[in-house]
């Protein structure tokens, strides 16, 4: 019986925390008691305990209770502990199983992308990519997916510093054309590499955002152009947009997620 009561009190405390978190100006004891249908003295005891541990604070002027800064401390520790590669892996495996193509996960670093995960798929495909290798941004779908969500000044700085080397005759090497391409990428939510980095290879990529809404990575599917037809790319668009959102949510990104 005592154990049941302890669990019930924890449950009530969590309910109170949820209620308090939903009201910007905080809530009073009476309002809380009405909403979760327990007596005011019980609510007050739970609130007093939460205040003592820093999870709830009482406003001196209004007497209302609101979330305490302890939650910021905990959330920052959670965010520090999030491992992009580990969080993304189950979603990347899904893509590999569904498509049998090469799946990449990259991060943005100093004007380049760095491959941090590569799933080979079941089909034979020779690609230059490997975990730990760096690649240019202007001619890769993952690079374009990230650049499209950086300020224009940053993008132009990267292009000035890194150049726009011609990798194939389909590589975009004109800044104005490239900036227009990035505007399309941002609007569509995904980026394509139509043999711009390697002949015979077509890729589709989506950006990945962190808890601050900042682009930090990208995921892609790469396959031979003969398999990555226009119809297949259209089919993969929705799937990639979904996967990009799901990985971002796992990293704490909530804005604009529907």
* Tokens found for residue 82: 């999030």
Architecture of domain 82-250: 2-Layer Sandwich (3.30)
pTM tops 0.85: no
Alpha-carbon distance of 152 to 214, in angstroms, equals 15
Alpha-carbon distances, residue 168 vs 27, 125, 187, 222, 239 (angstroms): 62, 18, 26, 16, 28
Query: CATH number of 2-78: 1.10.10.10, 3.90.1150.10, 2.60.40.10, 3.40.190.10?
Result: 1.10.10.10
Task: Residue count of the chain, please give it.
Answer: 258
Alpha-carbon distance of 54 to 67, in angstroms, equals 8
Domain-wise residue ranges, the chain:
2-78, 82-250
Contact 170, 196 (CB under 8 A): yes
Residues ≥6 apart with Cβ < 8 Å to 231: none
Contact 132, 230 (CB under 8 A): no
Residues ≥6 apart with Cβ < 8 Å to 220: 103, 104, 106, 140, 141, 142, 145, 193, 203, 204, 205, 206
Per-run averaged pLDDT (10 residues), the chain, 258 residues: 67 91 88 89 92 91 90 71 84 94 92 89 68 90 97 94 94 95 96 95 96 93 94 95 95 66
């Amino acid at each position: 019986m005592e154990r049941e009561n302890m669990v019930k009190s924890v449950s009530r405390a969590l309910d109170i925390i949820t209620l308090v978190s939903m009201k910007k100006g905080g809530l009073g004891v009476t309002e809380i008691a009405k909403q979760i249908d327990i007596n005011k003295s019980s609510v007050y005891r739970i609130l007093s305990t939460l205040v003592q541990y820093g999870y709830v604070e009482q406003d001196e002027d209004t007497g209302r209770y609101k979330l305490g800064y302890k939650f910021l401390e905990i959330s920052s520790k959670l965010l520090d502990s999030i491992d992009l590669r580990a969080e993304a892996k189950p979603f990347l495996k899904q893509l590999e199983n569904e498509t049998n193509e090469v799946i990449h996960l990259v991060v943005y670093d100093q004007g380049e992308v760095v491959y941090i995960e590569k799933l080979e798929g079941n089909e034979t495909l020779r690609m230059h990519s490997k975990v730990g290798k760096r690649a240019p941004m202007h001619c890769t779908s993952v690079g374009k997916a990230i650049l499209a969500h950086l300020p224009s000044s940053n993008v132009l700085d990267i292009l000035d510093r890194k150049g726009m080397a011609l990798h194939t005759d389909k590589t975009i090497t004109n800044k104005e054309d490239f900036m227009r391409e990035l505007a399309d990428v941002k609007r569509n939510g995904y980026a394509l590499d139509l043999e711009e980095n390697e002949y015979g290879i077509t890729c589709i990529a989506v950006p990945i955002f962190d808890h601050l809404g900042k682009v930090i990575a990208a995921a892609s599917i790469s396959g031979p152009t003969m398999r990555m037809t226009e119809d297949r790319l259209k089919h993969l668009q929705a799937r990639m947009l979904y996967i990009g959102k799901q990985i971002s949510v796992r990293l704490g990104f909530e804005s604009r997620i529907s």
